Structure 1
Amino acid sequence: MTEIPEPVGKVPEPVEGQVPEPVEGHPDPTPEPGTVVGPVTVGPIAHGGHCVARHQGRVIFTRHALPGERVMITLTDTSQRSFWRGDATAVIEPSPDRITPACEISGPGLCGGCDFQHVDPGAQRRLKADVLAEQLQRLAGLDLRVTVEEVPLDGADHGNGADHGPGADHSALGWRTRMRYQLDDRGRPGLRAHRSHQVIALPAAGCRIAQPMIAHPVAPVPAADLSQVDGTGVEVIGVAAADGVHWPTGPDTITEHAVGRDWLVAGDGFWQVHPAAADLLVRTVVDGLDPQPGETAFDLYCGVGPFVGGLLAAGCRVIGVEGSRTAIQLARRNLADAGDRVQFVADRVDRALARQPEGQRRSGDRPNRRSGRRRDRRQGPRPLPTRTDLVVLDPPRSGAGRAVVEQIVARRPRAIGYVACDPAALARDLGYFAARGYRLERLRAFDLFPMTHHLECVAILHGDGEPTSRDT
């Protein structure tokens, strides 16, 4: 039997024994967190980085396990009626895909950042493919198996090879370009435990998935001496001693390079954390859409403009829509050389798409009686065109949603490129598109977040399909 290292920090002591059998006529007894149950045979992987196990008819979402393993489970959350949560704290029959974690603080009760440190990287990608296939079938009615592609790292900055020890996968470690560290009660930098505010101090080796230059934060600082921590700590440029210690985040903007140009990004703004992601995703979307010179395109949730840049390079005229005013300001600076071929709208995507041209207002809407040709700022941004050739959307983890899908389809684009970081939200939205006549033409999935359960997908849809009766 393989013993998983004991948790450190303030976690409940395990209570040996199984959950008591239900008493007839009474509700099922609920064990306390820390109770150990098993042995249990682990079931399939589920969305969220855990496996599904069952014990005495109860579903237990179990971390640090693999499908098919026989394990003992320490319960961590028994507050829900329909399921419990737990950690595999002892492995009786291990999977052949189980490996020794590269990180010293990976395991039950420890850092919550990596879900799959105990899994061979190739097997990680197969597990992610299983989750994607299950979500597509359940939420979109699609029987489709997609290979999750490895994304190689190039260059010494990523800390490949021997930096991670013998046998380490060169693409699975040293990839993360941004980190957010916390301080424990002794002032040591660390990372939070899973579903907890507890801070687990970094080991001497630092964070193993971070690029070497950010894997080791500054020296420990007693919490009592820490006067202020600005923002996210993305880029620390100095530590100054006065009445306390002040950690600045660094410049307001940083510069990233992708799609053949430099991009200004807010220090606390969005940019893909994998160094190969921006180029890969833009190239995949543009190749899938096959834009033609002179076509019009919407880039929804455009951020600072990388997909806009790819579409402009293909000869399109582009309208970018983004809710962050800071991102829009930077996008205008990033693509100032495009002139009138690009327009940026600072507004929520759903609101921008729903705004109607004045000539198409519904009956009963108050008309605009202001004289003069100049548009009053209080009216908000101009309505978007009612037709477009192409749409790119890269929504947040929650996805686009039904209302945004309906507004996109109403403009009858010939092709849509959907970039998604959550397979459940993607599958749901693909169902909405299919119900309105847009079929999935191509789907690729990339392992841009090794050692975690996350993945990135690019779906290409064409508008020549018949509407389906399924509308999930």
Structure 2
Amino acid sequence: MQAEPRKSLVGEEYEVEIGPVAHGGHCIARTSEGQVLFVRHALPGERVVARVTEGEEGARFLRADAVTVLEASKDRIDAPCPFAGPGRCGGCDWQHAKPGAQRRLKGEVVAEQLQRLAGLTPEEAGWDGTVMPAEGDKVPAGQVPSWRTRVQYAVTADGRAGLRRHRSHEVEPIDHCLIAAEGVSELGIEKRDWTGMDSVEAIAATGSQDRQVVLTPKPGARLPLVELDRPVSVLRIDERIGQVHRVHGRPFVRERADGRTYRVGNGGFWQVHPKAADTLVTAVMQGLLPRKGDMALDLYCGVGLFAGALADRVGEQGAVLGIESGKRAVEDARHNLADFPRVRIEQGKVESVLPRTGITEVDLVVLDPPRAGAGRRTVEHLSSLGARRIAYVACDPAALARDLAYFRDGGYKVRTLRVFDLFPMTHHVECVAILEPADKGV
């Protein structure tokens, strides 16, 4: 017999006590029947009315929004952004929390993931529990740092630019994004008609005046005549064949970090916060302490940010191998690091390319994997190379914690961990873990 469909609970409301913060920008609560709720727009210790947004009877958990706050936390403020709140823009998770409270919540998430997935306390990870703001981001409650140098706008059926609602394809039209960097805001994307476009990405480079708009048209749509308030390059993405075409201006922007200029082509990856690249390079280099003549790996190297910093420090007798899967990023990395004869960039997936290199030992490793992490296979291989120190840059604390457990199995321990709030108002956080052999000094 076919099981009867479960009853949807979307729209049901529950009066609940809000418990601890959880990874993903929500807090945990339980209904009087014991059903778990993941509640957005709430803070620990509050009493709220939570309205279910996803879930059905018998589900392991429900998702919900706090639509009425009955007892507010002392950390609550009115959201500065008029587009934030239940059912609205999904880009920011913590507009309703004071800046210091946001960082404290992020620290609690990192600590919980380390304990649950790696069995590590903050002390065992060499971390004092502090989540550091980026330079210039420590602002009073009610103010918002304008930091996002890359904003991808969705487009409504009638051509208005907006941002996606949480876990939805629906678009929230906006007239201004508070966290957008000044260089993005000055392009005036929200003021134009983008009829026929599926998305519009605005990019404001750090350290140069380069500005870029990347258009993704709907099938068969004609590109609009782009006349913005300042000189800007324009690219078009053809999703059917996965290609990017230059429409106007340069196909790249110039970013700057650690005293070097990096070319980033075709809307490719670069850290979104203007201070992020320098902040992370400093943390990685302070943790690794490269020496002249070292052999180093830069895995998931992108356009060569860490490879360049390493090459500068290991000198002409040292060597750096970078591995990156993206073809255009590899081209950019080779261009960016062409003045270092002892730097080599290989294209392909790390787990496939690294074993083929024949490398059996290295002095230093930097890895900055995608959100899913490096995984057991890659970590096992790295653990066999005998590196003096390894720097793991992570944008997801859960993936970091899982991989740290694999490194422990491979004979490495965490020497220090630093955590940075490079994504204010969101639940995202950046970590830099420095590892060394567990038997060092024994």
Same fold (TM over 0.5): yes
Contact 1:229 1:246 in 2 (8 A): no
Matching residue of 2:129: 146
What SS does the aligned partner of 2:189 have? coil
In the alignment, what sits opposite 1:321?
A: 323
SS in 1 for 2:19: strand
Provide the identity percentage: 48
Indicate the SS of the match to 2:213.
coil
> Which AA in structure 2 matches 1:208?
L
Which residue of structure 2 aligns with residue 379 of structure 1? none
Please state whether the residue corresponding to 1:405 is helix, strand or coil. Answer: helix
Higher strand share: 2
The residue aligned with 1:35 is 12
The one-character-per-residue Cα deviations of 1:245-267 (angstroms, maximum 9, x if unpaired) are: 25543532110011101100023
Q: Which residue of 1 aligns with 2:93?
A: 115
Equivalent residue number for residue 77 of structure 1: 54
Judge conservation of contact 2:152–2:199 (CA < 8 Å) in 1: no
Residue from 210, 218, 228 that aligns with 2:180: 210
Contact 2:77/2:141 (CA < 8 Å) preserved in 1? Answer: no
Q: Give the aligned length.
A: 393
Alpha-carbon distance, 1:233 to partner = 4.9
Q: Unpaired segments of 5 or more residues in structure 1?
A: 1-25, 155-159, 356-382, 467-472
Between stretches 96-105 and 312-321, larger displacement belongs to 312-321
Q: CA deviation at 1:168?
A: 3.9
What is the 5 A alignment of 1:4-403?
Answer: 30-38=7-15, 40-55=16-31, 56-79=33-56, 81-144=59-122, 146-153=129-136, 168-169=142-143, 172-203=144-175, 206-215=176-185, 216-217=188-189, 219-221=191-193, 223=195, 226=196, 228=197, 232-234=201-203, 235-236=212-213, 245=224, 248-249=234-235, 251-315=250-314, 316-339=318-341, 341-355=342-356, 383-403=357-377
SS in 2 for 1:453: coil
The CA distance in 2 between the partners of 1:71 and 1:30, in whole Å, is 24
Q: Secondary structure at the match of 1:105?
A: coil
Are 1:67 and 1:95, in contact at CA under 8 Å, matched by a contact in 2?
Answer: yes
Q: Distance between the aligned counterparts of 2:224 and 2:408, measured in 1?
A: 55
- For 2:134, the aligned partner's letter is V
2:408 aligns to what SS in structure 1?
Answer: helix
8 A contact 1:139–1:431 mirrored in 2: yes
Contact 1:421–1:456 at 8 Å: present in 2 too? yes
- Runs of 4+ with deviation above 6 angstroms: 26-29
Q: Point out where structure 2 has 5 or more consecutive residues left out of the alignment.
A: 123-127, 204-211, 216-220, 227-233, 236-247
- Residues in 1 aligned to 2:170 and 2:198: alpha-carbon distance in whole angstroms: 18
Using the TM superposition, give the Cα deviation of residue 29 of structure 1 relative to its aligned residue in structure 2, in angstroms. Answer: 7.6
CA separation of 1:28 and 1:42: change in aligned 2, threshold 3 A: farther
For 1:417 and 1:221, the matched residues in 2 are separated by: 45
Q: C-alpha offsets along residues 274-312 of structure 1, whole Å, 9 cap, x if unaligned?
A: 000111101110110111100100000011111011111
Aligned mates of 2:190, 2:385 — CA distance in 1: 51
Correspondence 1:461 to 2:435: yes
1:408 corresponds to 2:382: yes
Quote the residue 2:242 is aligned against.
none
The residue number in structure 2 matching 1:446 is 420
**CA–CA distance in structure 2, aligned partners of residues 111 and 419 of structure 1:** 28
In 2: Cα distance, 1:103 partner to 1:253 partner: 31
- Give the C-alpha shift of residue 230 in structure 1: 7.7
* Alpha-carbon spacing, 1:244–1:287, altered in 2? closer, same or farther (3 Å): closer
What is the root-mean-square deviation of aligned Cα atoms in Å?
Answer: 2.4
| Greater Rg over alpha carbons, structure | 1
